[in-house]
């Protein structure tokens, strides 16, 4: 008799994430229905109890007496990821710069990386303009905004080109003290790595320390993503759909649906096509392996939070080299916000149309330029892209009262669109990484095709 015990193979990370995503959507929609039902039947107090127990943000005055179980789990996970962002970028990029023996090779990698990101930026901006213009011409962006409003949105004006100055920090500890200055951290990491490269054996102790720190960060993030991630994703998705109810989506359904469909369509078209045209690799292999990264980005709504799993997938499943990946992915997390540009084209077109401004093709070209500049300087954290919409509006000179009211409306309904744009950002980073690896002859095609 065969006495062998059959052991169940543990579920893969992508399977766990997909279950968490689908379960979160289902539970969120159920609570959304419950929310709408209770509001329409004058049962707001009952909903307030449910909201206080599960979903309430406990850090605001309204949540003083709340428990907010789903909010706490989601925030602990997000903060745990954000905790590792600055050290991860500093260590991985410094070691990458140090490991590149030839300055000529570094220059080649940098140029190919920037060309790749800019090319995808242009594709995203073009299709964002095309689709948003079509929706506008169909009259679906026509909204009757109130002529006066006691509280309109206000955001400080900001010149997108200032990102160049802000990239070089005047105080290194200040740059490391916030996740909003990742571009500055990238610059410091590049300088540190290049200096270590030049000094060689003199920095062996520093290199050994950074390598040990890198192993600690990797172990920590693997545990967080594999063990805590699925539960946190379930809570994040459920809470999003439960509290951002249908009443927020109705006023601008054309904007939300149009932008989300365009973002999802682009993520499964421009990157596979780009990979096939430049490398002749099988694009479907790429999409299949990157699915979990897209799901993770959609759920966490943060490029920075997605960097660890993106890096792991690039090294272990796509066959990319550690040297190039350690440069391309942190750089992409910092400056490649392709999905944000697509969202900006929809949002600014919607706001301007709603405010009675005729948006011309020439206007859209200027909008695209401003958006690319603004997106490149957008912090890799949730909601940052929505905030930067005002930067584009300001650059266009569209800051009258009606535009501000339209902007306030976008801020209220933009959460689903913010979630949908993240896969375009993070999968774009991976696509450029594959292309650069292939062009440099360092892609393990056996691993890629496995």
The full set of domain ranges for the chain reads 103-171+248-448
What secondary structure letter does DSSP report for 318? S
Cα(279)–Cα(266) distance, integer angstroms: 19
Cα(426)–Cα(311) distance, integer angstroms: 10
pLDDT digit string, tens, across residues 118-134 = 899 889 889 988 988 88
At 101, is the pLDDT very low, low, confident or very high (cuts 50, 70, 90)?
Answer: low
Cα(226)–Cα(304) distance, integer angstroms: 17
pLDDT, the chain, mean:
79
pLDDT digit string, tens, across residues 368-386 = 888 887 776 565 555 566 6
Q: What residues contact 131, with CB distance under 8 A and at least 6 apart?
A: 258, 262, 346
Give me the residue label for tokens 């050290």: 87
Give the Cβ contact number of residue 285 at 10 Å.
17
Pick the closest to residue 86 from 6, 8, 181 (CA basis).
Answer: 181
Measure the N-to-C terminal CA separation of the chain; round to a whole number of Å.
36
pLDDT digit string, tens, across residues 171-183 = 888 778 776 666 6
Query: What's the whole-model pTM score?
Result: 0.68
pLDDT at 431 over 50: yes
- At 244 the pLDDT is 61
Task: Quote the tokens at residue 386.
Answer: 């929505």
Give me the residue label for tokens 């997909």: 18
- At 114 the pLDDT is 85
pLDDT digit string, tens, across residues 153-205 = 444 455 556 667 777 888 888 778 776 666 677 788 888 888 888 888 888 88
Query: Highest mean pLDDT range out of 13-17, 415-419, 429-433?
Result: 429-433
113 sits in the region (left: phi over 0; alpha: psi -120 to 50; else beta) called alpha
On whether the CB atoms of residues 406 and 152 are closer than 8 A, the answer is no
Of 4 and 319, which is predicted with more confidence? 319
pLDDT at 2 over 50: no
- At 85 the pLDDT is 72
- At 1 the pLDDT is 44
CA–CA distances in Å: residue 436 to residues 381, 416, 443: 26, 32, 9
pLDDT digit string, tens, across residues 296-323 = 888 777 777 788 889 889 988 998 998 8
Class of domain 103-171+248-448: mainly alpha
Q: How much of the chain exceeds pLDDT 90, in percent? A: 7
CA–CA distances in Å: residue 234 to residues 123, 228, 248: 33, 10, 22
Q: What angle do helix axes 253-267 and 401-413 make, rounded to 10 degrees?
A: 60
CA angle 322, 273, 268 (to 5 degrees): 85
Of 61 and 160, which is predicted with more confidence? 61
């Amino acid at each position: 008799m065969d006495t062998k015990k059959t052991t169940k193979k543990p579920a893969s990370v992508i399977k766990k994430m997909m279950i968490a995503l689908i379960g979160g959507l289902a539970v969120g929609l159920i609570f959304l229905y419950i929310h709408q039902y209770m509001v329409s039947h004058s049962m707001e107090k009952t909903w307030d109890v449910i909201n206080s127990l599960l979903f309430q943000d406990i850090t605001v005055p309204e949540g003083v007496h709340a428990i907010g179980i789903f909010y706490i789990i989601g925030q602990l996970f997000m903060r745990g990821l954000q905790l590792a962002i600055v050290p991860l970028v500093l260590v991985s990029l410094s070691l990458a710069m140090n490991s590149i023996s030839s300055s000529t090779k570094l220059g080649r990698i940098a140029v190919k990386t920037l060309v790749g990101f800019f090319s995808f930026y242009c594709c995203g901006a073009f299709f964002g303009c095309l689709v948003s213009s079509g929706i506008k011409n169909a009259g679906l962006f026509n909204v009757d905004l109130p002529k006066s409003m006691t509280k309109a949105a206000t955001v400080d004006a900001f010149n997108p080109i200032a990102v160049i100055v802000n990239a070089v920090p005047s105080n290194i500890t200040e740059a490391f003290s916030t996740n909003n200055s990742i571009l500055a951290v990238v610059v410091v990491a590049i300088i540190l790595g290049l200096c270590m490269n030049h000094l060689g054996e003199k920095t062996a102790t520093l290199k050994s320390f950074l390598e040990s720190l890198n192993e600690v960060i990797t172990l920590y993030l693997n545990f967080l993503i594999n063990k805590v991630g699925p539960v946190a994703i379930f809570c994040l998705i459920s809470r999003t759909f439960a509290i951002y109810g249908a009443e927020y989506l109705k006023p601008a359904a054309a904007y939300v649906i149009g932008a989300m469909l365009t973002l999802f369509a682009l993520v499964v078209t421009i990157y596979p096509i780009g990979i096939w045209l430049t490398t002749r690799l099988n694009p479907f292999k790429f999409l299949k392996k990157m699915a979990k990264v897209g799901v993770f980005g959609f759920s966490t709504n943060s490029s920075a939070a997605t960097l660890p799993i993106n890096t792991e997938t690039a090294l272990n499943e796509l066959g990319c080299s550690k040297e190039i990946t350690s440069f391309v992915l942190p750089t992409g997390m910092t400056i490649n916000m392709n999905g944000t540009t697509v969202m900006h084209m929809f949002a600014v077109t919607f706001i301007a149309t709603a405010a009675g401004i005729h948006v011309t093709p020439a206007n859209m070209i200027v909008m695209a330029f401003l958006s690319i500049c603004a997106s490149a300087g957008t912090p890799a954290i949730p909601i940052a892209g929505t905030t930067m919409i005002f930067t584009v509006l300001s650059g266009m000179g569209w800051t009258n009262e009606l535009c501000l009211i339209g902007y306030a409306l976008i801020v209220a309904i933009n959460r689903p669109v913010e979630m949908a744009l993240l896969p375009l950002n993070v999968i774009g980073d991976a696509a450029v990484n594959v292309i650069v690896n292939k062009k440099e002859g360092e892609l393990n095609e056996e691993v890629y095709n496995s």
